[in-house]
Amino acid sequence: MPESAKIKKTGDGAIVNVSSDSGIMGNTNATLYCASKGAVTLLTKALAVDVAKDLIRVNSVCPGDVITPMLKEEKAKAPDGEKYLKDLISNYPGGKLATPEEVAAGITFLVSETAPFVMGAAWSIDGGITAYSY
């Protein structure tokens, strides 16, 4: 039996999709990425409405930049890696980038029994970058 059928049969479950801050606001030179992450965000909301009657909670997390191997690669490829990182961080009101553990903590909360009434949320885990215009 597929997992989705098991969740529906038990009437209890949680799905968390991973979108991005780019699924909430546009970024330069990222048209297709923003479109794909925007699709994930709205898929989450639409699916949440469709399966709420089965007590299945569907949410998404929308991280900003996260310190990952990919980010470290981008820094290494930049002409001045330290300036690249400093400029990136300067966009964040919190003055730092997320760690994978911080994003995982948000996902863990959303799938937990502590969040039974959270449905269809696009949870920003982004150091405040989507909270203002710059």
With respect to residue 36, please indicate whether it lies within any of the assigned structural domains.
yes
Of all helices (H) and strands (E), which one includes residue 123? strand 122-125
With respect to residue 65, please indicate whether it lies within any of the assigned structural domains.
yes
Phi, psi at residue 33, to the nearest 5°?
Answer: -65, -45
Collapsed DSSP state (helix, strand, coil) of residue 52: helix
With respect to residue 19, please indicate whether it lies within any of the assigned structural domains.
yes
Q: Tell me the average pLDDT across 43-62.
A: 96
Average pLDDT for the chain:
93
Told to judge if 33 belongs to the known catalytic residues of this protein, a careful annotator would answer yes
User: 10-26: per-residue pLDDT in tens?
Assistant: 777 999 999 999 999 99
* pLDDT given for residue 68 in this prediction: 97
The Cβ-side half-sphere exposure at 69, using a 13 Å CA radius, reads: 0
With respect to residue 4, please indicate whether it lies within any of the assigned structural domains.
no
Q: CATH code at 46?
A: 3.40.50.720
Range of the domain at 111: 12-127
Q: How many independent structural domains does the chain possess?
A: 1
CB-CB contact of 16 with 7 (8 Å): no
User: 94-120: per-residue pLDDT in tens?
Assistant: 999 999 999 999 999 999 999 999 999
8 falls in which pLDDT band (50, 70, 90)? Answer: confident
Q: Tell me the average pLDDT across 43-64.
A: 96
As beta bridge partners, residue 14 has 57
pTM above 0.85, yes or no: yes
13 versus 133: the higher-pLDDT residue is 13
Given 33, 84, 92, 134, which residue is catalytic?
33
With respect to residue 104, please indicate whether it lies within any of the assigned structural domains.
yes
With respect to residue 6, please indicate whether it lies within any of the assigned structural domains.
no
With respect to residue 31, please indicate whether it lies within any of the assigned structural domains.
yes
